[in-house]
Amino acid sequence: MSQHRLYALINSSEENRYKYPILDIAEGRAYIPEARLYLPLNDTTRDLRYEYRTNGGDKYINLSTSPLVGSQNEKDDHACDRAVIVSSSKDFFEGAYAYFGEIPPTQDELRYIFVHSNETCSTYSAGTSKALAEAAKLITEY
């Protein structure tokens, strides 16, 4: 298999992992139903893609945007699609991520926000991950 085909396969699997939030235009919300959360609908969250995961006792949400998911190339870090992570554990730090802040703990104990360092990602700028992290600070339970 050629390297180009391999990256096409990886990007395709990334696209299948992520879900689109349920958008409520009238209420101005982007819902993540698995975690019973929403974010305010704005220019950043209208393109939101997410992946809700549990890993043992830890839970986390990977946040990304439609233009980022499935657009990595062979020079990019494998985690570029996860621009922001909201985790139940502060020990989530994964080398390429920096602690950004906290939200009040949700019912799933999601609390800590981590931002991917875009230094290893050619697909987006620092402004993208920062805008997603600022949106994550406004996560609200329903």
For the chain, what are the domain ranges?
Answer: 3-141
Mean pLDDT of 113-129: 76
Name, in order, each residue with C-beta under 8 angstroms of 34's C-beta and a sequence gap of 6 or more: 52
Q: How far apart are CA 129 and CA 109, in angstroms?
A: 22
- pLDDT class of 136 with cuts at 50, 70, 90: very high
Residue 40 buriedness (CB in 10 A; 0-12 / 13-18 / 19+): middle
User: Is the pLDDT score of 52 beyond 60?
Assistant: yes
pLDDT classification of 39: cutoffs 50, 70, 90: very high
Distance, in Å, from the CA atom of 71 to the CA atom of 8, rounded to the nearest integer, reads: 9
Q: How far apart are the C-alpha atoms of 140 and 142, rounded to whole Å? A: 7
User: Is pLDDT at 69 greater than 80 in this prediction?
Assistant: no
* Cα 79 to Cα 135: distance, rounded to the nearest angstrom: 20
CB 120 within 8 A of CB 76: yes
Q: What does the pLDDT read at residue 56?
A: 79
Answer for the pair 15, 113: CB distance below 8 angstroms, yes or no: no
Checking if the pLDDT of 50 tops 70, the result is: yes
- pLDDT averaged over the chain? 84
